[in-house]
Amino acid sequence: MSNRLVTEIAGLKLANPTMLAAGILGMSGSSLKRAAEAGAGAVITKSLGLKPRIGYSNPTLVQVDCGLLNAMGLPNPGVHHFVEEISEAKKGGAPVIISIYGFSSEDFGEAAKVAAEAGADALELNVSCPHVEKTGSEIGQSPQLVAEVVEKVKSIVNKPVFVKLTPNVTDITEIAEAAVKAGADTITAINTVRAMAINVETTRPVLANKVGGLSGPAIKPIAIRCVYEVYRKVNIPVIGCGGVTTWQDAVEFMLAGASAVQIGTAIAFEGLGVFKSIVEGIDSYLENMNFESVKEIVGLSHRY
């Protein structure tokens, strides 16, 4: 692939501006490696905490119009048990970012330390899961709590820190600005949108947890708006996430201000081949539009 696609985010060199989003294929070193080999410019693990968690009972995932609705409940083996997987993931040749969560800033700090020692190239702080109590968006809806978590992690590790934000707030820029002030290196926008489905035959909520998070094309316009708003307010890179399925989606996010895009739900529908089609599509777009680097299109829509 051409040099046009090479980019750098918070000191991480990426062969292209796509990333495997947290939560999909991020449960083992071998699946992370496969995503990198399929063309992801970087890969992100499932969110890991200090202790293993089983997650919620089934049903945890359901297909809805234009997307997926999930309430997995943070199932993960715990960050300590993931250390060996990281060396396997790194064989894919792309930077490996470990997503971490915690129930306090101390939890985040400890998990970050283990993740950094395991060889993470960067950390993504999950302060945005929409349906697990006392973590995720319960932290990410408060500028003070977000600042506390980011400050704690930055005081412990010397790695780039991405902060993944929830759209389930009145003003996402207020949270983004708090994260930046506290030392965030990059903002990821967005995690899933709090949502629900009810089966009309059984009259029951479909998910065992009742409420979950919506991902996929259904949320793309929300994510584009969030990236656009955050880009205007912060002076660090923004990474877009939410419904990227085609190269046009990826370019749209970049025009809104994203330096890179994360891909998740599209992999569930189309397989890992989406990386190749998106990356090749961005490259042809740049060539046809006479751009020399993908960096030139970041935020271009803000001229209007």
- Catalytic positions: 129
Gap between the Cα atoms of 209 and 287, Å rounded: 47
**Where does residue 300 rank: exposed (0-12), middle (13-18), buried (19+ CB within 10 A)?**
middle
The pair phi, psi for residue 167, each rounded to 5°, is -80, -5
Gap between the Cα atoms of 19 and 235, Å rounded: 21
Closest among 35, 184, 172 to 112, alpha carbons compared = 184
Minimum Å gap between C-beta 181 and ligand RRO is 23
Q: Which range in 65-73, 110-118, 144-152, 269-277 contacts ligand RRO by CB under 6 A? A: 65-73
Give Cβ neighbours of residue 171 (< 8 Å, ≥ 6 apart): none
Minimum Å gap between C-beta 46 and ligand RRO is 8
* Helix ranges, the chain (H): 29-37, 83-90, 105-117, 137-140, 143-156, 172-181, 220-233, 247-256, 265-270, 273-288
Contact 74, 18 (CB under 8 A): no
Query: Given the complex with ligand RRO, which of 92 and 213 has the nearer CB atom?
Result: 213
Minimum Å gap between C-beta 129 and ligand RRO is 3
Site string for ligand RRO, 204-233 (x = CB under 6 A): ---------x--------------------
Gap between the Cα atoms of 111 and 157, Å rounded: 10
**Which 138-197 positions form the footprint of ligand RRO (CB under 6 A)?**
191-192
Query: Given the complex with ligand RRO, which of 16 and 45 has the nearer CB atom?
Result: 45
Minimum Å gap between C-beta 75 and ligand RRO is 6
Among 16, 70, 105, 265, binds ligand RRO (CB under 6 A): 70
Q: Is 262 in the site for ligand RRO (CB under 6 A)?
A: no
Query: Given the complex with ligand RRO, which of 65 and 133 has the nearer CB atom?
Result: 133
Consecutive H or E run containing 69: strand 67-70
Distance of CA 196 to the CA centre of its chain: 21
Query: Given the complex with ligand RRO, which of 139 and 282 has the nearer CB atom?
Result: 139
Q: Which range in 122-130, 145-153, 199-207, 227-235 contacts ligand RRO by CB under 6 A? A: 122-130
Minimum Å gap between C-beta 297 and ligand RRO is 28
Among 43, 74, 122, 279, binds ligand RRO (CB under 6 A): 74
Residues that bind ligand RRO (CB under 6 A): 23, 47, 70-74, 126, 128-129, 191-192, 213
